[in-house]
Chain A
Amino acid sequence: MIPIFNNMVINMADENSWALSMHQIECCNCSHGCGCQFGGFPDSESGACEALLGFSVIKGHLNELDLSGVKMVFAAMWPKAIHEGNGKGALFIDNEATAEQVTALATIMSGQAGGMPVEAIAATFTEFEGPILTDITMNTADRHASFSIKDILEVEQTPLISPVTGEEQNVHITFPDGGFMWNDGIIGNSKSMHINHHNIVFEHIGKFSAKAIANWGN
Chain B
Amino acid sequence: MSTIALSWCYMLYFMTMNMNPVGQWRIADIGLLFVMWGIMMAGMMLPSAIPVIMLVDKLNYRRRQQSKPFTQTFYFMVGYLLAWLAYSLIATLIQWWLHHLMILSPMMISINTNFSAALLIFTGLYQWSPFKQKCLQLCRSPFSFISTHWQEGVAGAIRLGLKHGQYCLGCCWLLMALLFVTGVMNIKWILILSLIVIVEKMLPKGDVLSKVLGILLLCYGFYLFL
Interface residues of A (CB under 8 A from B): 1, 3, 14, 36-41, 47, 81-85, 111-112, 114, 116-117, 119-124, 178-181
Partner of B62, one of A14, A123, A181: A123
Given contacts A83-B51, A112-B66, 18 further A-B contacts (CB under 8 A): A3-B62, A3-B66, A38-B137, A39-B141, A39-B207, A40-B140, A40-B144, A82-B143, A85-B54, A117-B148, A120-B59, A120-B147, A121-B147, A123-B55, A123-B58, A124-B58, A178-B148, A180-B143
B55 touches A124 (CB 8 A): yes
Partner of B142, one of A37, A83, A181: A83
Q: How far is the CA of A81 from the CA of B204 in the complex (A)?
A: 8
Q: Which chain A residue lies CB-closest to B55?
A: A83
CB of B150 closer than 8 Å to a CB of A: yes
Interface residues of B (CB under 8 A from A): 51-52, 54-55, 58-59, 61-62, 65-66, 68-69, 137, 140-144, 146-148, 150, 204, 207
A1 touches B61 (CB 8 A): yes
A1 / chain B contacts, CB cutoff of 8 Å: 58, 61
A47 touches B51 (CB 8 A): no
Q: How far is the CA of A47 from the CA of B206 in the complex (A)?
A: 13
Instruction: Label chain A's interface by main secondary structure.
Output: loop
Q: Which chain A residue lies CB-closest to B62?
A: A123
**Which 4 pairs across A and B sit closest by C-beta, in order of nearness?**
A40-B141, A117-B147, A180-B144, A123-B58
Partner of B65, one of A3, A36, A40, A84: A3
Q: Which chain A residue lies CB-closest to B60?
A: A123
B52 / chain A contacts, CB cutoff of 8 Å: 83
B62 touches A120 (CB 8 A): no
A116 touches B147 (CB 8 A): yes
B144 / chain A contacts, CB cutoff of 8 Å: 36-37, 40, 179-180
B204 touches A41 (CB 8 A): yes
CB distance from B48 to the nearest CB of A (A): 13
